[in-house]
Amino acid sequence: MSAKLVKELRERTGLGLLECKKALAAADGDVDKAIEELRKSSGMKAAKKAGRTAADGVVATRIADDGSYGVVVEVNSETDFVARDDNFLAFVNRVVDGAFTDKQTDVAALMEGELEAAREALVQKIGENISVRRIELVSADAGVVGAYVHGNNRIAVLVELKSGDQDLAKDVAMHVAAVNPQVVSPADMPEDVIAKEKEIYTAQAQESGKPAEIIEKMIGGRVKKFLAENSLVEQAFVKDPDVTVGKLVSAAGAEVASFVRFEVGEGIEVEKVDFADEVAAQLNG
């Protein structure tokens, strides 16, 4: 079993060397499969994602004055230094303006013409690759859209409420930025996600040696807890933990319809290169 795979599994799980070696051997070197089996056997919580996200940049939002719609965009750079550059931020504002004015979510269509020329000129000036990664539009048919951007422009959220006002929507968006729920309500959780969690909880519970009816209750309780922890309306509100987000919104005569959360670089995986290994490879080459 390669030391690289063992190291990755240890970094993602925090478990010991021998346990990681055994798990990888049993999983034929498949790290994700090894993690799944470890969760079943040891009750380990979800593991960290492989590698580090190297893509940098910013996220930004724009909301209509009447709260009828809003856009959120992500624009990537290679380094945090460029992400704070005034020229880069001015370009981001142009992208947001275009997406907002045209209600455009197709990056390729938005970037045709002047914006693409501006991007290319900025790449030449700064010396880093710059790309507009994604855009999302949220409209409120019977309510408002509110936004929150974390102070360092790395997390941005749009929240759509049925009824309510933009201040309430912004508070909920702030909560989403901080807590990162998966779905609005338990009913929205994909069945395959629930099935996977149930499979893991079943394996954990069966090792307890308890009677089948007790195991069934244990599994049901853990699934219910998982749904509550990952559903926006069931979570304790960050500014007042004594009330759930659902109750907070309901007390204002409103309802959460949807949310969108962008975090810079999420989902972009890049290969980690060990500096010493890189130097050695160059010398050997």
Q: What is the pLDDT of residues 125-180, one digit of tens each?
A: 888 888 999 999 999 988 999 999 997 899 999 999 999 999 999 999 999 999 99
Nearest residue to 246 via CA among 238, 48, 254, 95: 254
Q: How many CA atoms lie within 13 A of 11 on its CB side?
A: 12
pLDDT at position 79 over 90: no
pLDDT score at 47:
59
What does residue 170 show for φ and ψ, rounded to 5 degrees? Answer: -65, -40
When pLDDT is cut at 50, 70 and 90, the band that residue 36 belongs to is: confident
Fold of the domain built from segment(s) 56-185+246-263:
Tetrahydropterin Synthase; Chain A (3.30.479)
pLDDT score at 52:
35
Q: What is the pLDDT of residues 83-119, one digit of tens each?
A: 999 999 999 999 999 999 999 999 999 999 899 999 9
Which of the pair, 74 or 269, is modelled with greater confidence? 74
pLDDT score at 246:
97
pLDDT at position 283 over 70: no
Query: What number is the average pLDDT over the span 262-274?
Result: 72
In whole angstroms, what is the distance from residue 285 CA to residue 282 CA? 5
pLDDT score at 38:
80
Same fold, 1-45 and 56-185+246-263: no
Q: What is the pLDDT of residues 179-230, one digit of tens each?
A: 999 999 999 999 999 999 888 888 888 777 788 888 888 888 999 999 999 9
pLDDT at position 49 over 50: no
pLDDT score at 54:
38
Long-range CB pairs of 165-170, under 8 A, 24+ apart, other chains included: 165/67, 165/252, 166/63, 166/67, 168/248, 168/249, 168/252, 168/254, 169/67, 169/144, 169/145, 170/146
Instruction: Indicate the domain borders of the chain.
Output: 1-45, 56-185+246-263
pLDDT at position 234 over 70: yes
Fold of the domain built from segment(s) 1-45:
Helicase, Ruva Protein; domain 3 (1.10.8)
Both structure tokens of 186: 């338990």
pLDDT score at 282:
56
